Structure 1
Amino acid sequence: MAKQTVKLGNTVLGSGRPKIAVPVTGSTQEAILEQAAAVKAAEPDLVEWRIDYYEGVTDAAKLTETGKKLRDTLGDLALLTTFRTKGEGGELALDDETYFAICENVVAGGYTDALDVERFHDEASVKGLVKKAHDANVVVVMSNHDFDKTPSADDIVGRLTSMAEFGADVPKMAVMPQSVEDVLTLLTATRQADVALSQPVITMSMADLGKVSRIAGEVFGSAVSFGTVGAASAPGQIPLTHMKNDLQDLKLTD
């Protein structure tokens, strides 16, 4: 399967070492912009704005205003905007209608390079949101997170494949390991999906057991890893400064 690359601003996913994303998790506009400035100074490849942490997320005008100020702060640094629902490890419980309205507002705001779209919502709504994002030249990272367990390798590959079929530019899956064998399952599934799909994929095994999956993406086929500058947004994330060295040490030579 010929592999595609996906461009987010000046960052290319699916080529070379995994790119490092750092979350911004402030609850106020001031905190978001302050955190974003610190993250930018640390020079990641992209920033993930976790808008489920933002107290103004349900106010369309506030969200757009903050998004545009965040874009100004980040300059040409690539931005992925994510509302993570409560059921998938996020901060805020919302009904589907509100979730999709917020995501559509992000697309309309014109400040983000990519949008996270959770796969397991109403299928017609997911596909409609993908179309709106693509019409606005916004890349779709489609995701699923299992904070309880690690599904079988076939199940993980099946979920990633269904995301590709739904129009995802980058399918993403995060799972929780209960054993070393679970980490091996995730890595096996990553390799299988990387071979089977033309899209770049993002995978991770969470918590301390899964940390190895966050630095081994170039070997197994995960295109992005999530590091930290300050606060983490998921268990097992590694500080950005460490991760840069880890990924460099594990780099594949031509």
Structure 2
Amino acid sequence: MRPVTVRTIKIGEGRPKICVPIVEAEKEGILAQAAALRGLPLDMAEWRADWYQDVQDISRVVDTVRELRKVLGDLPLLFTIRTAAEGGAVKMAAEAYAELCAAVARSGYADLIDVEVFTARETAEDIVREVHRAGAKVVASNHDFHKTPPKEELLRRFRHMEALGADIWKIAVMPQNGRDVLTLLDATLTMTEAEDCSPVISMSMAALGAVSRLSGEVFGSAVTFAAAGRASAPGQISVDKMSEMLDILRI
């Protein structure tokens, strides 16, 4: 796997990196939650901007991400607009989505930009190009809150992300049974066994899939998401417990 360096961390090397989402509606709450992350055992933060009440206003989003950068200091920041089509909190036209992702990338305050490459299918290639031109990294993402596709379909989606030139490839799926969890883990391992693979983030959601959030170092998922306050997806474990369990598994 080729690690991706983001500020002080190397994603895809060593223990899976712990990312904590910031999920608040108002600017004051966003900044307060960011400040509360100090001292917690995390490696990076994610701003789930789809929860932000002014997410449709580019100037306000950029202003808030600028203030967020001040609070986070040198902690790597992933900027995410999770659309309703993929389980998020906002509906947004494709053009507006692309424009907002590019604007935040150009601001220089976010290190990584999440791009829903299947929901934003027609504009995904342009978004990836604009984010890279701005000097930020792309996390290509895909979320299925209803089912776990077959292994070959998961591999196809990962390879599509690779073809787009994304720096990190992320898939999250909903399991219906234990074999669905195994399918997700098997697809992740298959992808990451290749020496030239980019970092992969994968997770099987809800309580049934919680093991996938812990076993990244074995099966190849480079980042795991943990909660500090409100969770952004079903099955997230608290950041303190996550760090402790990852250390125990390493022992």
TM tier relative to shorter chain: over 0.9
Cα offset for 1:156?
A: 0.7
Cα offset for 1:121?
A: 3.6
Q: Which residue of 2 aligns with 1:245?
A: 244
- Equivalent positions of 1:121-140 (< 5 A) are 121-140=119-138
Query: Deviations for 1:132-160, whole angstroms, at most 9, x for unmatched residues?
Result: 11111101000000000000111111101
SS at match of 1:168: coil
Counterpart-to-counterpart distance in 2, 1:161 and 1:251: 29
Match of 2:117 among 119, 126, 151: 119
Is 2:212 the partner of 1:213? yes
- Equivalent positions of 1:76-155 (< 5 A) are 76-155=74-153
> Any unmatched runs of 5+ in structure 2?
none
Task: Report the TM-score, using the length of structure 2 for normalisation.
Answer: 0.97
Q: Tell me whether 128-137 or 167-176 shows the greater mean CA deviation.
A: 128-137
Match of 2:72 among 66, 71, 74: 74
Counterpart-to-counterpart distance in 2, 1:37 and 1:89: 26
- Equivalent positions of 1:231-242 (< 5 A) are 231-242=230-241
* Residues paired across the two proteins, number: 250
> Any unmatched runs of 5+ in structure 1?
none
Decide whether the 8 Å contact of 2:41 with 2:240 is kept in 1.
Answer: no
Decide whether the 8 Å contact of 1:40 with 1:77 is kept in 2.
Answer: no
Q: Taking every aligned residue pair, what percent have the same amino acid on both sides?
A: 46
State the superposition RMSD in angstroms: 1.1
Counterpart-to-counterpart distance in 1, 2:169 and 2:38: 25
SS at match of 1:247: helix
Counterpart-to-counterpart distance in 1, 2:106 and 2:214: 34
Is 2:164 the partner of 1:166? yes
> Runs (4+) of structure 1 moved beyond 2 Å?
121-124
Counterpart-to-counterpart distance in 2, 1:243 and 1:150: 24
Q: Which residue of 1 aligns with 2:179?
A: 181
Counterpart-to-counterpart distance in 2, 1:129 and 1:40: 32
Decide whether the 8 Å contact of 2:207 with 2:234 is kept in 1.
Answer: yes
Query: Deviations for 1:84-128, whole angstroms, at most 9, x for unmatched residues?
Result: 010101001112111112111211221000000011145452111
Q: Tell me whether 101-110 or 180-189 shows the greater mean CA deviation.
A: 101-110
Decide whether the 8 Å contact of 1:56 with 1:63 is kept in 2.
Answer: yes
